[in-house]
Amino acid sequence: MARILTKDKLNQHKDKALQELSKLLDALISNDNPKVSAKADILSFWIETYCKYLNTEKTFVPSSLKRYERGDVIQVNFGYRVGSEHGGLHYAVVLDKANALNSPIITVIPLGSLESNDDITKYDVPLGNEIYTKIKLKNDSLYQTAKIAFEGLTEKQNTIKLLQNSLIDDEAAELKLTAILDQYEKEVSQLELDLKLLQKMKKQILKMKNGSLALVGQITTISKLRIYNPKGYHDTLSGIKLSPKALDSISAKMKELYFFE
């Protein structure tokens, strides 16, 4: 049975927790090693994100996301973790055989980048360049499509501006053109944002060029609130799946590590 605490006790505990957090952040910031001091920013960012998750969990509707299947490659915010636990925004592979659309949780295996053969442990499964190739092909295709659409909209936007400037004493037509121009400017801004995101993703993908690892030793069940991409069927990672061969290798490693004969 849970303890019933007074507001004074709760406030005391809150103050103590905040003091400990403040001391930790101050210690990280004052460290002369840039890699250590940078952790203060990472931790602060995660606390902000975690608070957002907690504030939105009551109104979160899992069924608003796409249906996830075994083998789907997704991006997950694992957050600020302890020791060698996999943290931050990273790729993962869905493990659930049949995850329900309305389920608020999902089980995944984090994916890591392979720098050298020394990175492979007995808990890992090398996946080669499979994920890199699939994501790069889709990313390049989406980038070209968005670029062509952006150029086309920009040309239309300029044409509308010329028409608008040529109108004389036609208030109704000018208002109509202004409304159309506003809509086009919104679409141009959205496409510009999409292009930037695709460029950013392209840089992230490069880290996987030497190959990927399934970190089977770090299987974890997460809230779907942590899923960054894909959330819908039109997002950049939607449709990216591991091959049956790769999934078989992961299953064999899981059996080796966790199941008794």
Q: At what angle do helices 34-56 and 7-30 cross, to 10 degrees?
A: 150
In the predicted model, residues of the chain with pLDDT beneath 70 are 1-2, 116-118, 168-170, 261
Q: Buried b / exposed e across 71-110, counting CB within 10 Å, b at 16+?
A: bbbbbbbbbbeeeeebbeebbbbbbbeebeeeeeebebbb
pTM for this predicted structure: 0.78
CA–CA gap between residue 78 and residue 94 (Å, rounded): 14
- Tell me what pLDDT residue 158 has: 78
* Predicted local distance difference test score (pLDDT) of residue 140: 80
Return d(Cα 228, Cα 219) in angstroms, integer. Answer: 18
Residue among 233, 161, 226, 154 at smallest CA distance from 195: 154
**Per-domain residue ranges of the chain:** 1-60, 133-206
